[in-house]
Structure 1
């Protein structure tokens, strides 16, 4: 399975915020949507990503006052993205090597979706199950 198939299944909706958004507003958005990261964009172009980890690190280093600052103060600016043709194996490798749980999907410089580690694991388990079923069917026929 590749990213295109994942996006077709789950949809391309991405929770985003602008660079002027406060960390508190971003945290509220994460809680409301039950997600772990928000992509910071301007005109559909990715400027950064702010995750739960980033918020925890901000509060740990600067106290509650960090919540009133803009997301740009704490977001990850070097955002690794994936493309529609990346496979689940490639995504797992990228996420494992870089130690993150969310990969924005980019096409022609624009944000078109996001893939989480949960999305990848769910699809990979389905692939393994299909392979096992095929082997069982082959062996018993």
Structure 2
């Protein structure tokens, strides 16, 4: 069964971040450049929260605000919900489903190790299930 640590090791530890005082426009531009749907919000070295395309759509566009004037701190989800690298992919999916978000910072002993997406976790769970199916088929066929 895949752990969050294993998933991070396979995908790499790139962490794309913005500061709370950055503009939402700068955050959206970085998301587009990096091909991601969310960014970590760091206040110095401290994890402040997460900002996503969903935050932008719901808290800027729908409210008629300007992305060039609105600060990330005004729309980000804070404090960030995090997960331990020791957790399983299933536990991560359950947390994301319960809290209704798609990106999850991985933290160990106060250190940000990376971010996993719902896609990362679904891929891992499907892989785990495929291995289990193959083992059961071998067992049944003898």
Q: Which TM-score tier does this pair reach, normalised by the shorter chain?
A: over 0.9
CA deviation string 1:54-79 (max 9, x = no partner)? 1011121033x233221011111121
Correspondence for 1:31: 32
TM-score by length of 2: 0.93
Gaps of at least 5 residues in structure 1 are none
* 1:19 CA displacement: 1.6
- Secondary structure, aligned partner of 2:84: coil
Correspondence for 1:41: 42
Q: Which has the higher helix share?
A: 1
Correspondence for 2:118: 117
Gaps of at least 5 residues in structure 2 are none
* 1:108 CA displacement: 1.8
Task: Give the alignment's Cα RMSD to 1 decimal.
Answer: 1.2
* 1:33 CA displacement: 1.2
C-alpha separation in 2, matches of 1:9 and 1:47: 26
Correspondence for 1:17: 18
Match of 1:61 among 46, 60, 63: 63
Correspondence for 2:93: 92
* 1:43 CA displacement: 3.0
